[in-house]
């Protein structure tokens, strides 16, 4: 709902009198208007090369017919859904129309515009056609506004990411990891903590970092960049997970929770040492089962306290599972 509210705020800055956008409407009409005659060729029946010959259908023919029948049924259902959407848009007042478009933004694809054009083409009066033309122009105006707002948000997230990476990349001709300046990562961490306090590390930012990371991994010739972006997500996860502490119950320290929270805050390079110092298999007081239990509990708490399917949830859970995976590796080695 927050995304919808944000988009509707964007829409309020657009001219609410959409029918008066004559120039834009003319451009929009040229983008979507089709004649039904343009679609006839795709529906022509093909004549059999053997007229008068009654061929018995083989199993393959029956299977093909079933597939075609299923495809036809799917296309019919799609058309019914599109007609319901178009009817809802036609009947909506301006505020309801904006909300409908924003909530169904991915529905306005090529198939939608073709169906809208077909509906317009079957109108018997010029007034009805005009209604469809104005509806098309209005929907396009809203869609363009939402797209522009999203683009601005992405650009803003990119600027935030650049600010976080500045201590590592500034004055460097080639990206290397780890950075030559050992204090650069500390500066990155300070940037992340400060920007998180200011509310800049939202879903848009996390989406941008995740997209950049996927691209860097796919390119395979930028391992330094991939490692750097991975570090950004790790520092973010550590910052968020460190906000809550479960290491104290009254005046007592829960040793397993304390060890986990130490691991969360520590750089990944120090994890092995912390496991050796904290586990009973090494020099510590925490059993492997106790550590496993608190990690699983923290994962459950994170799943409950974050939005399902969000980038934040995914990044925090991956970080905790990374600690869990490393713990299992160390425990296996220590057991021999």
Examine the pLDDT at 32 and tell me if it is beyond 70. Answer: no
Q: What is the pTM of this model?
A: 0.58
How large is the average pLDDT for residues 274-286? 95
Neighbours of 241 (CB within 10 A): 20
Q: Is the dihedral of CA 166, 167, 169, 170 positive or negative?
A: positive
Mean pLDDT of the chain: 80
Examine the pLDDT at 19 and tell me if it is beyond 60. Answer: no
CA atoms in the 13 A half-sphere facing the CB of 21: 20
pLDDT in tens, 103-141: 888 888 889 999 999 999 999 888 888 899 999 999 998
How large is the average pLDDT for residues 258-262? 97
Query: Which neighbouring-strand residues pair with 249?
Result: 252
Examine the pLDDT at 189 and tell me if it is beyond 50. Answer: yes
Q: List CB contacts of 181: < 8 A, sequence separation 6 or more.
A: 167, 168
Q: Helices in the chain by DSSP H: which ranges?
A: 2-12, 22-32, 37-40, 59-91, 94-103, 110-121, 126-169, 184-197, 203-219, 223-241, 255-265, 271-278, 288-305, 311-335
**Domain boundaries, given as residue ranges, for the chain:** 2-36+62-151, 171-241, 244-336
Q: 98-111 as b/e, with b when 16 or more CB fall inside 10 Å?
A: bbbbbeebeebeee
Per-residue pLDDT at 182: 80
How large is the average pLDDT for residues 218-240? 92
76 versus 54: the higher-pLDDT residue is 76
Q: 63-85 as b/e, with b when 16 or more CB fall inside 10 Å?
A: eeeeeeeeeeeeeeeeeeebeeb
Per-residue pLDDT at 296: 97
Distance of alpha carbon 136 from alpha carbon 110, whole angstroms:
13
Examine the pLDDT at 15 and tell me if it is beyond 60. Answer: no
Per-residue pLDDT at 283: 94
Chain Cα centroid distance, residue 23: 34
Instruction: From 332, 318, 232, 317, select the one nearest 275 (Cα to Cα).
Output: 332
252: three-class secondary structure by DSSP: strand
Examine the pLDDT at 31 and tell me if it is beyond 50. Answer: no
182: three-class secondary structure by DSSP: coil
Query: Which neighbouring-strand residues pair with 252?
Result: 249
Examine the pLDDT at 322 and tell me if it is beyond 80. Answer: yes
Instruction: From 263, 317, 320, 318, select the one nearest 286 (Cα to Cα).
Output: 263
Per-residue pLDDT at 106: 83
Per-residue pLDDT at 282: 93
Confidence of residue 27 (pLDDT cuts 50, 70, 90): very low
Distance of alpha carbon 2 from alpha carbon 10, whole angstroms:
13
Examine the pLDDT at 275 and tell me if it is beyond 90. Answer: yes
Lowest-pLDDT range of 39-43, 108-112, 172-176, 324-328: 39-43
Confidence of residue 74 (pLDDT cuts 50, 70, 90): confident
31 versus 235: the higher-pLDDT residue is 235
Q: What percent of the chain is modeled with pLDDT above 90?
A: 50
Do 295 and 324 form a contact (C-beta atoms < 8 A)?
Answer: yes
Per-residue pLDDT at 69: 62
The DSSP string of 82-101 is HHHHHHHHHHS-HHHHHHHH
């Amino acid at each position: 709902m927050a995304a919808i509210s944000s988009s509707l705020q964007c829409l309020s800055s657009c001219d609410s009198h959409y029918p008066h956008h004559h120039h834009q409407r003319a451009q929009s009409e040229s983008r979507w208007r089709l004649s039904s005659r343009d679609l006839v060729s795709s529906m022509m029946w093909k004549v059999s090369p053997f007229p008068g010959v009654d061929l018995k259908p083989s199993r393959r023919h029956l299977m093909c017919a079933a597939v075609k029948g299923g495809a036809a049924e799917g296309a019919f259902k799609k058309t019914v859904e599109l007609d319901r959407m178009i009817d809802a848009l036609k009947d909506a007042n301006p505020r309801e129309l904006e909300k409908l478009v924003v909530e169904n933004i991915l529905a306005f694809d090529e198939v939608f515009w073709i169906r809208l054009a077909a509906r317009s083409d079957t109108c018997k009066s010029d007034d009805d056609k005009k209604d469809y033309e104005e509806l098309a122009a209005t929907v396009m105006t809203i869609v363009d506004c939402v797209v522009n707002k999203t683009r601005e948000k992405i650009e803003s997230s990119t600027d935030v990411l650049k600010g976080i990476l500045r201590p590592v990349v500034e004055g460097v001709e080639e990206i290397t990891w780890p950075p030559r300046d050992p204090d650069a990562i500390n500066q990155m961490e300070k940037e992340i903590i400060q920007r998180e306090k200011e509310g800049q590390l939202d879903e848009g930012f996390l989406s941008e970092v995740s997209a950049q990371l996927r691209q860097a991994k796919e390119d395979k010739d930028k391992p330094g960049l991939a490692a750097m972006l991975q570090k950004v997500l790790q520092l973010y996860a550590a910052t968020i997970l460190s906000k809550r502490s479960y290491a104290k119950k009254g005046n007592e320290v829960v040793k397993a929770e304390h060890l986990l929270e130490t691991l969360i805050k520590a750089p990944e390079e120090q994890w092995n040492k912390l496991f050796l110092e904290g586990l009973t298999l090494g020099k510590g007081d925490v059993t492997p089962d106790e550590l496993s239990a608190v990690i699983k509990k923290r994962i459950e708490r994170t799943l409950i306290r974050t939005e399902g399917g969000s980038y934040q949830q995914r990044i925090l859970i991956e970080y905790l599972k990374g600690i869990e995976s490393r713990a299992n590796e160390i425990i296996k080695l220590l057991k021999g």
